[in-house]
Amino acid sequence: MFPTFRNMLPNKTTLRVLTLTGVLCLFALPISATTEMGYILNSFSFLIWGVLVMWMCAGFTMLESGTVRTKNASVICLKNLGLFSIACITYYIIGYDLMYNNVWHFIGIPFENGFGHGPSGVEVAMLADVANNSTELLSDQSYSTMSDWFFQMVFVATTASIVSGALAERVRLWSFFAFIFILVSFIYPVVGAMTWGGGFLAELTEKHGFIDFAGSTIVHSTGGWAALAGVLIVGPRIGKFRKNGTVHPTPPSNVPLVTLGVLILWLGWMGFNGGSVLAMDSPANATIMSDVIANTVMAGAAGVLTVMALSKVILGRMSLLAVLNGAIAGLVSITAAPDFHDMIWLAIVIGAVGGLLCLITMRVFDAIKIDDVVSAIPAHLVAGIWGTMAVCFTNADSSLWVQFVGIVVVGAFTFTFSWIAWYLIDLIFGLRISAETEELGQDVTELGMETYPEFVQVIDHEMYAEELEEKA
């Protein structure tokens, strides 16, 4: 008779002995072994959390491709795949060094250590002499260089993804990629250098520096400012805002896909904020990471419930898309300072206010005729600004004035250079697709394919009626 699986498992006493033995062995480790274990845990943390943040690119793709009309869904997929690849290569070649290498006030030094950003000399020496236990060389290095590069790189891709959805359905594919190249190779690294890289905003006064734990401003508002500049230059989709002041509805092509995208983003945010603890080599860091993730989840939930409760009052109807953006706004809001362990209820308040501000901004954008297809600017820019100011409620080392100055500096720099970039791209290559392409869809005209070929595409002639009448 063969033993059952249950009989093969160790009993509780054996498990307790093994656990106690393991703990005692850990405390008995020499200093060098402890250093090695910290190096391993920190590097592994960067890699695992980075993979979750990379998974957010899938979330953005699902969210955006489900929100746009079917005739533009394939182009959205290509845009998100392309922008991630551009972010990956450019951040390796120049972006990381501009952001972190010997930063002077607002910019680092590229190519100082050769082409691109590679492993440190200590790591190269260790790998060349593994047989002689050369891991002791790592005593001054707490994580793998390229694990840090990977974790930082996926944040760049997140910033770029924010721009994609806001300008969907009306921007030329290669013109969009040209802007993304400028954003990820220059604009974002400079913003990062001024803040996380140790630039002037990091030490704005003798007592206080700009605080943005995981990037409410540095990542999300930067993407929002870049998107806003592009939206203002390219203008709204044809027929989106009628001459009588009403808004022509453009319902999403796949609501379940949008919902899935937001849930993927929510999952990825655990890596986004949790990984920003930047260490997992001690009980204290593990505890902080747990608090960060708990606060992040609650803020997102508060954003959802707030928009559910108020969307009918502000929008005149219960809107699933608004509720989904409420989740994102709550997550963005808490991202600037989720690392607090007392007054946990503040995470709920911060997320709720972020969701409310997002909802109000969506209504205002319709009133002033700003066409943001996925409401990226209300969810990322507006909520990001609020979250950065809300740091003052949770972090005793923060300064209201310093936080405000940081927001203004990042906003002015990003919006100005984004505006210039969009304008020059429009001048040189052309930014807007033709009216015919907009009516037929970019999938057919730019890719020669349809996302859902088994369905018959019906063109919304009413939306383009005023444009056609003017041409006639």
Instruction: Give the pLDDT confidence of 98-156 residue by residue, as tens digits.
Output: 999 988 888 998 877 778 888 887 878 777 776 565 666 666 788 999 999 999 999 99
Residue 28 lies in a domain: no
Residue 191 lies in a domain: yes
Instruction: Identify which of 231, 238, 94, 71 has the alpha carbon closest to the alpha carbon of residue 153.
Output: 94
Rounded to whole angstroms, the Cα distance separating 230 from 314 reads 27
Rounded to whole angstroms, the Cα distance separating 38 from 329 reads 34
- Look at residue 228 in the predicted model and tell me its pLDDT: 98
Which CATH number does the domain housing residue 432 bear?
1.10.3430.10
| pTM > 0.85 | yes
For 181-230, the pLDDT digits (tens) are 999 999 999 999 999 999 999 988 768 899 999 999 999 999 999 999 99
User: Helix and strand tally (H, E) in the chain?
Assistant: 21, 0
Structural domain span for residue 459: 33-463
Residue 2 lies in a domain: no
Residue 468 lies in a domain: no
Residue 267 lies in a domain: yes
Query: Is a pLDDT exceeding 90 seen at residue 418?
Result: yes
Rounded to whole angstroms, the Cα distance separating 25 from 196 reads 37
Query: Is a pLDDT exceeding 70 seen at residue 5?
Result: no
Residue 144 lies in a domain: yes
What are the residues whose beta carbons fall under 8 Å from the beta carbon of 71, sequence distance 6 or more?
A: 440, 441, 442, 443, 444, 450, 451, 457
Rounded to whole angstroms, the Cα distance separating 58 from 61 reads 5
Locate tokens 């991630």: which residue?
84
- CA 245-247-252 angle, 5° bins: 170
Backbone φ and ψ of 171, nearest 5°: -110, 135
Rounded to whole angstroms, the Cα distance separating 355 from 348 reads 11
Backbone φ and ψ of 104, nearest 5°: -115, 100
> Based on the structure, what is the number of domains in the chain?
1
Residue 1 lies in a domain: no
Residue 18 lies in a domain: no
